[in-house]
Structure 1
Amino acid sequence: MEIMMPRLPLPRHLTLATLLAIGLATSACSRGNDHQSGGGNGESPAAASTPQDWAKLSQFSRIDVTGPDNVVVTIGPKFSVTADGDPKSVALLDIRTKADTLQIGRKSEGMWNKVDGGKGATIHVTLPAIRAIDVTGSGDFTLDKAEGTELALSLTGSGDLDIGQVKLGSLKAEITGSGSITLAGTADQGELSITGTGDIDAAGLKLGRAAAEVMGTGDMDFASDGPVAIKIMGTGDVKVKGKAQCTTNTMGPGEAHCGP
C-alpha cells in the first residue's frame, strides 16, 4: 500500500550539486584534521605507525577509514591488523586506535593519492564484533558479516562498501558522493539515505520499519513488510519489495515503487 504526498518542484536556488560539494568538502576536511590530531575531544590516540605496532591494537568495535586504500574486515575471535600491497603505500599508512575506534589513514604526505601510480595498500582487520564503519575517500571496504543490536555505515566519496549477511536490531546506512553500499540480511529497523549519485543495492536486505531518503540521482532498493517512510528530492528512485506500507514525499522526478 502506498500513500502519495504532493510532488513539489525542485527549488532552483538550491542545487543538488551545491549541497553535495559543500558536504564533501566539509567532511573531508573534518576527517583529515581529526585523524592527524587524534580527534576533537582531547583524547590522545594510541600511536601505531609501524606493522610491529599494529599487532598490539585491540579493543575496538568501530572502524574509521580515510584515503585511497582498501580495507577487508573479517569477524573472528581475536583482534588482528595487517597490511599488504604496494610497499610505498604500506609505508605511508597511519593506523591507530582512539577509544573504541580503529583509525586507518595515511601520513600527511600521501593522504589522498596512490603513490607513483601504485595499486595502493590493502589493510586486513579481524575483530569479534563491529558497531560502526565510517569511510571517506576512494578506497573500498569489505565486511563478511555483522550481528548485534546496531550497525552504522557512513560512506563519503567514491569508494564502495560491500557488506555480507547482517542480522541486526538497528541499521543505519548513509552515502554522500558517488560511492555505493551493497548489503543483505535482516534488521528490525533501518534508516537509509543517499546524497549525490551513489546507490544502495540492498535487494537482499529485509527491514521491519524503515525510513529511506534520496537527495540527488542515486537509487536504492530493499525489502520490507512494515511501515516505510520515503522522501525523494531529485531524480533518484526508491524500490521496496514486499508488503510494505509506504508513505512518500517527493520533490522532482524521482519515483518510489512499493510492492511485490
Structure 2
Amino acid sequence: MPRLPLSHHLPRHLTLATLLAIGLATSACSRGNDHQSGGGNGESPAAASTPQDWAKLSQFSRIDVTGPDNVVVTIGPKFSVTADGDPKSVALLDIRVKADTLQIGRKSEGMWNKVDGGKGATIHVTLPAIRAIDVTGSGDFTLDKAEGGDLALSLTGSGDLDIGQVKLGSLKAEITGSGSITLAGTADQGELSITGTGDIDAAGLKLGRAEADIMGTGDMDFASDGPVAIKIMGTGDVKVKGKAQCTTNTMGPGEAHCGP
C-alpha cells in the first residue's frame, strides 16, 4: 500500500504549525548548547575566563599594543610580563606572543573602553632588547631606554609614547593621529614623520642625518649637525637645532627652522 504524504494525515494548518514548532525547538536547543559550550567555539565558560599564563611569554623583540590600557617597558636581562590596575580591565586582557611580537590587547567584549569608568590596566614588560613598538588606541606607552641597531616607533590614536634615552644606529618614528612621541638620546640616522595633529617632542635627540616629514598640524623638533631633508604639507613646523645642513620643501603655512 503506497505511503500517503503528511498532509493527507493532518490538516494543512496543523502541519505547518507542527513543523514551525519543531524548528523553533531545534533552534533553541542549538543556542542553549552553544551558550553552555562558550559561544560555540569549543570553550567552556570556565575555560574562557581562565587567566593566561603570562609568565611563559618570552622570545620577543617587538611590542604591538591595541586598546585603552597603559604599558610600561623596562630593558632588563630576563623576560617578564605582569599586569595590575582595575581588576575587571585586567581580566579582559589578551596578551600573547606571535612570531617575535608581544601582542597586548583585550578580548572582544572590552576592546576599546575602560570598564565601568575604571582606570584601566597597566601592563609591565621587561625584555633584553626592543626593535619595534606599534601603539594603537588611547593607552600610553613608556620605555626607559633602547640601545643597539634599529628602533621603529608607530603611534596611531590618542595615546602617548614616551621613550627615555636611546643610542641607536637607526630610528624611525611615525605618528598617525593625535598622540605624541617624546624621546631623547642619539641615533646615526632618523626618519621622523607626522600625519595628523600629534607632535614629536625630541629636543633632546641628536641625529647624524635625518628626514623629517609633516602632513597635518603636528610639530616636531630635534637636533642635528648633519644633512636634514624637510618636507612639510600643512601647518606643522619643524625645528632643528645645531649645525644641520637643511633642505626644505614646503606646501602650506608650515615652517622649517634650522640653526643654533
Q: TM-score, normalised by structure 2?
A: 0.81
Shift in CA distance, 86/22, structure 1 to aligned 2, threshold 3 Å: farther
Query: How far 1:41 sits from its partner (Å)?
Result: 22
Q: Is the 8 A contact 1:16 1:216 kept in 2?
A: no
Query: How far 1:29 sits from its partner (Å)?
Result: 34
Query: How far 1:227 sits from its partner (Å)?
Result: 0.3
Quote the sequence identity (%).
98
Q: Is the 8 A contact 1:166 1:185 kept in 2?
A: yes
Provide the aligned length of Structure 1 versus Structure 2: 256
- Once the two structures are superposed, what CA deviation does each residue of 1:71-118 show, in whole Å capped at 9, x if it has no partner? 000000000000000000000000000010000000001101101100
Shift in CA distance, 84/150, structure 1 to aligned 2, threshold 3 Å: same
Q: Is the 8 A contact 1:64 1:133 kept in 2?
A: yes
**Greater mean deviation of Cα atoms: 27-36 or 143-152:** 27-36
Secondary structure, counterpart of 2:18 in structure 1: helix
Query: How far 1:25 sits from its partner (Å)?
Result: 42
Hey, what does 1:151 align to over in structure 2? Answer: 151
Distance in 2, Cα, partners of 1:16 & 1:171: 70
User: In angstroms, what is the RMSD of aligned CA positions?
Assistant: 17.8
Hey, what does 1:70 align to over in structure 2? Answer: 70
Query: How far 1:23 sits from its partner (Å)?
Result: 46
Shift in CA distance, 106/240, structure 1 to aligned 2, threshold 3 Å: same
Shift in CA distance, 221/147, structure 1 to aligned 2, threshold 3 Å: same
Distance in 2, Cα, partners of 1:140 & 1:81: 17
Task: State the structure with bigger RCO (CA 8 A, min sep 6), 1 or 2.
Answer: 1
Q: Which runs of 5+ in 2 are unaligned?
A: none
Query: How far 1:55 sits from its partner (Å)?
Result: 0.2
Distance in 2, Cα, partners of 1:12 & 1:220: 77
Distance in 1, Cα, partners of 2:189 & 2:3: 26
Shift in CA distance, 222/24, structure 1 to aligned 2, threshold 3 Å: farther
Q: Is the 8 A contact 1:6 1:250 kept in 2?
A: no
Shift in CA distance, 43/111, structure 1 to aligned 2, threshold 3 Å: same
